[in-house]
A and B are shown apart, each in its own frame.
Chain A
Amino acid sequence: MTEKLVIIGNGMAPGRMLEHLLEKAPGQYAVTIFNAEPRVNYDRIMLSPVLSGEKDYEEIIIHGDGWYIKHGITLYKGHRIVAIDRDARTVTSDHGVTESYDKLVIATGSVPFILPVPGKDLPGVITYRDLDDVQAMLLAAQSREKAVVIGGGLLGLEAAAGLAGRGMDVTVLHVMPTLMDRQLDPAAGYLLQKELEGRGIKVLCKANTRAIVGNGKVEGIELEDGRIIPATLVVMAVGIRPSVGLAREAGLAINRGIVVDHGMQTSDGSIWALGECAEVGGMVYGLVAPLYEMARVAASHLAGEQGASFVHSDTPTKLKVTGIELFSLGDFADGDDREEIVLRDASAGVYKRLVLKGNKIIGTVLYGETADGAWFNDLKKKQTDISEMRETLIFGQAYQGGAPLDPMAAVAALPDDAEICGCNGVCKGRIVSTITEKGLTALDEVRAHTKASASCGSCTGLVEQLMTLTLGDSYNPAAVQPMCRCTDLGHDDVRRLIKAKGLKTIPAVMQELEWKTSCGCAKCRPALNYYLVCDWPDDYADDYQSRFINERVHANIQKDGTYSVVPRMWGGVTNSGELRAIADVVDKFEIPLVKVTGGQRIDLLGIEKEDLPAVWADLGKAGFISGQAYAKGLRTVKTCVGSDWCRFGTQDSTGLGIRIEKFMWGSWTPAKLKLAVSGCPRNCAEATCKDIGVICVDSGFEIHFAGAAGLDIKGTEVLGLVKSEDEALEHIVALTQMYREQARYLERIYKWAKRIGLDEIRRQIIGDAGKRKAYYDRFVFSQKFAQVDPWSERVSGKDKHEFLPMASIGYGQAAE
């Protein structure tokens, strides 16, 4: 019987726990998660690269929405649990949802500590914990004004570097005499300070904050010594506290964190706790490696295995600021029973210190050059006696045995059980054997299969060296991401070569560009088919076997293998005749669900594949053509009623929408394309989150593009204002053609625009009339071949085999 497992908090610890649990005991639990943050599980430790702009939010998602669907897990986003009733075994959220559990996991993480100083609640004072904080910082950074970061630890410095990189004038205040005093000794802390100052960040150590000052919003910070430091943004990063309030109210045993045994069980036998909120063996943790160990242990107990027990290990600390190399591990305080080996190279900005006790390494601080971190970590972990190599130890592994080794050789020399990825506890042997066994060739694949370098990413270099070591020269980390495993070429190269070499069939592309597989795969074939359709509209014969099923049968496949059908309703406008025809079709084919879509269309769901041509035939008689709701192509143009009806309308938005849709239907695009036209800035057609949108104003038509309202939400960018409908159409069509010719398959317009640059797009479409006209003409030419209604073609018998079974073997035959 499935038991009910409820999880409070959807951070990195429970996310990992679920991965283990689904592997060990799939189907044992019906899982429900409540997460106060309104989002899926993402890699919190990569927030700093998002702040600095090196990564996008979508790149740091660990489990996307699809993952929860795939595993049948219910995730309540934006629901904070406010009460646990241990007698009734229920939890209740702030939105009033109550859920009962057989087993409960508390993973509420930590909350940032707020200094109890006057002014701490002023607008403009934020902490650094989640994506909302990053977004608040990015918004504040647009002002390019002054920011103060309180706290010179890991989080504070990553925030400071990010904000400085975004153009803010940043001051870091730290109470202790040197930065990162918990991870670095004073010498390394000093080097770090010099480096940050060199980047224009001001650092004040021994600085005690007395108050945050400001009238209605932050204006500055007042220090104990009376100094005032002006600021419009204050980031408090002075530490975290395990989030235990909920558990305390429920009456669980609490110390610094929620007290759990070595199997992660709390004082209540049906409640487990893990992550930063849990205290095990008298310790609370704030780095992911030990949290992942907790996840492993908890999953194993939940799966009904008994033995697993949490094991403490020291985790190295690294600062994720590009260009700063820093590594710290273990204990490095001075002491009588300790010796140390120090290496300084002032000109190169290198400082290395090993702390030894009884000929064994107990602590390591490396600054400026950290390549040997993994090796020192390995020596420490194994408690290796280093007396033999004492003289050369500090120079690193490369110097052992006389001649210096190159870095590759150093990695080669690491033992198989040397830990490469600290976050996920993955050793060298596991990475190498997985690469060989599974034939992996790309970094992403190694991440997917081993998890190595999939968390904080600071071991990426080591993993890449291991890949080079294992795969030889065939692995080139600097190369572009190949389209798929069938080729080494990236999408852009393939598109360029298709044009340059005049390749006009899929076999020709594969032959000329030396595809490694005989007939491609489900990733490259649809992409190539699109590129060829786009580049050679008159010559290329569309390859249906390379299209995804929806585009092959012109309907949308549903989870049970039936299909849904959406007839085109120009601009979202319909009439009684059309509605009557739809009603008749619904009755005749007993269609189970009729639903209105977000793009102002009517969706008929649950149709058997064999019935599709007959359904289309009936719809066709009423004048309908395919709504192409399945296409990587023009989907819908949504409109509002505009000046014909609406008292605010400035232009005929409905008419323009229909005109655009009639002009552009049937065109294939790299990814789906949805448009909208609103009659005034009240924007009832929601044009400002579409791929392309128009806002009508008294003086003309404002053209927008690159919006998104799916997994990502993003407002559009303005392309420009034009005066007439004709101009609006020409600009929209030219923009679409530019996107068709340049984007990578499945790349939505907002991602393409970000890659190419908005200014470049405006320059070509707005600034260069010649270019615009050329794009427009190429689109018009390709429409000659694209505007064929696929439904009526099939009603007349095209691709008949698609819709009929090859044979039916019935009971009658079986009896023979």
Chain B
Amino acid sequence: MNWFAIGNIADIPLRGARCVKTPQGKIAVFRTAENEVFAIEDHCPHKGGPLSQGIVHAKAVTCPLHNWVISLETGKALGADEGAVKTIALKNDGGALFIALESLMVAAE
């Protein structure tokens, strides 16, 4: 596991999200109204919609394509839908944010 610096919490709007580009695809980093930060793959389990573009509410985001609601904590679809997206470990060090990418997948280069 390697930690990568991605920026500061203030770069993300409250109840909003930003993307981080990685060789494995985009990761969405969310900031909730309560100032918690979560990272998940930017790829809806339904049809791959960009979750970073959805509306953020409580600890969940609603996918912009067909309105699935995804939990930011577990990556699982909430409500009647079923599916899950990978969550990414995130460290908040006094506002400086780091995400963990598996060393294997990064080192494979």
Contacts and interface: CB of A to CB of B under 8 A. Distances in A.
Contacts of A521: 55, 57-58, 62, 69
Interface in B32-68: 32-34, 47-50, 53-58, 62, 64-67
B95 interface: no
Interface in A769-816: 801, 805-811, 813-815
Contacts of B29: 806
Contacts of B7: 806-807
Contacts of A449: 80
A709 interface: no
B22 A557 contact: no
Contact of A805 (B20, B57, B65, B101): B20
B55 A546 contact: yes
Contact of A809 (B14, B23, B79): B23
Nearest to A547: B55
B78 to A, nearest CB: 10
Given A548-B64, A814-B106, A805 B58 contact: no
**What band does the interface of chain A fall in when counting residues whose beta carbon is under 8 Å from B?**
35 or more
Nearest to B42: A561
B20 A809 contact: yes
A141 B19 CA distance: 59
A70 interface: yes
A526 interface: yes
A522 B67 contact: yes
A546 B32 CA distance: 13
A559 B66 CA distance: 10
Contacts, number: 106
B55 A815 contact: no
Contacts of A522: 54-55, 57, 62, 67, 69
Given A545-B14, A545-B55, A809 B64 contact: no
A526 to B, nearest CB: 7
Nearest to B56: A545
A236 B36 CA distance: 66
Contacts of B79: 438
Nearest to B12: A806
B58 A518 contact: yes
Nearest to A553: B53
Contacts of B48: 561
A553 B64 CA distance: 12
B23 A814 contact: yes
Given A519-B58, A545-B14, A808-B20, A561 B47 contact: no
Nearest to B61: A522
B18 A517 contact: no
A544 B13 CA distance: 10
A520 interface: yes
Interface in A543-601: 544-550, 553, 557, 559, 561
A518 B16 CA distance: 15
A448 interface: yes
B1 to A, nearest CB: 13
A703 B38 CA distance: 52
A517 B57 contact: yes
B73 interface: no
Contact of B55 (A517, A518, A526): A526
Interface string A519-549: 1111001100000000000000000111111
B109 interface: yes
Given A548-B64, A813-B4, A814-B107, A807 B54 contact: no
A448 B2 CA distance: 44
A548 B57 CA distance: 12
B84 interface: no
A525 B66 CA distance: 17
Contacts of A548: 55, 64
Nearest to A560: B48
Contact of B57 (A519, A561, A806, A807): A519
Contacts of A801: 11-13, 18
A632 to B, nearest CB: 14
B58 A517 contact: yes
Contacts of A70: 47, 66
B15 interface: yes
Nearest to A807: B6
Given A805-B20, A814-B106, A520 B66 contact: no
A387 B62 CA distance: 57
Given A519-B33, A805-B18, A815 B109 contact: yes
B79 to A, nearest CB: 8
Given A519-B15, A545-B14, A808 B21 contact: yes
B107 to A, nearest CB: 7
A525 B55 contact: yes
B44 to A, nearest CB: 10
A717 B22 CA distance: 55
B109 A814 contact: yes
A806 B20 contact: yes
A814 B29 CA distance: 19
B68 to A, nearest CB: 10
B67 A805 contact: no
B33 A549 contact: no
B109 A811 contact: yes
B19 A525 contact: no
A438 B5 CA distance: 39
A57 B11 CA distance: 48
Contacts of A810: 23
Given A549-B64, A805-B21, A557 B53 contact: yes
A441 to B, nearest CB: 13
Nearest to A439: B79
Interface in A329-344: none
Contacts of B56: 545
A807 B16 contact: no
A541 B19 CA distance: 26
Nearest to B79: A438
B60 to A, nearest CB: 8
Contacts of B20: 805-809
Interface in B54-109: 54-58, 62, 64-67, 69, 79-80, 101, 106-107, 109
A549 B17 CA distance: 11
Contacts of B34: 518
B7 to A, nearest CB: 5
A561 B13 contact: no
A806 B99 CA distance: 12
Contacts of A520: 57
A519 B54 CA distance: 15
B82 to A, nearest CB: 10
Contacts of A815: 107, 109
A806 B11 contact: yes
Contacts of B64: 548-550, 557
A143 B58 CA distance: 55
Given A545-B14, A559-B47, A809 B21 contact: yes
Nearest to A812: B109
A521 B33 CA distance: 12
A546 B55 CA distance: 7
A807 B65 CA distance: 24
A141 to B, nearest CB: 38
Given A548-B64, A809-B21, A815-B109, A448 B58 contact: no
Given A517-B58, A813-B4, 11 more contacts: A438-B79, A519-B15, A545-B56, A549-B64, A559-B47, A559-B65, A805-B20, A806-B29, A810-B23, A814-B109, A815-B107
Interface of B: 2, 4-7, 11-16, 18-23, 26, 29, 32-34, 47-50, 53-58, 62, 64-67, 69, 79-80, 101, 106-107, 109
9 contacts: A66-B66, A517-B58, A521-B55, A521-B57, A561-B49, A801-B18, A805-B20, A807-B6, A809-B22
For the complex of A and B, the 8 pairs showing the least CB-CB separation, nearest first, are: A522-B62, A806-B18, A814-B106, A807-B6, A522-B55, A545-B15, A549-B53, A808-B21
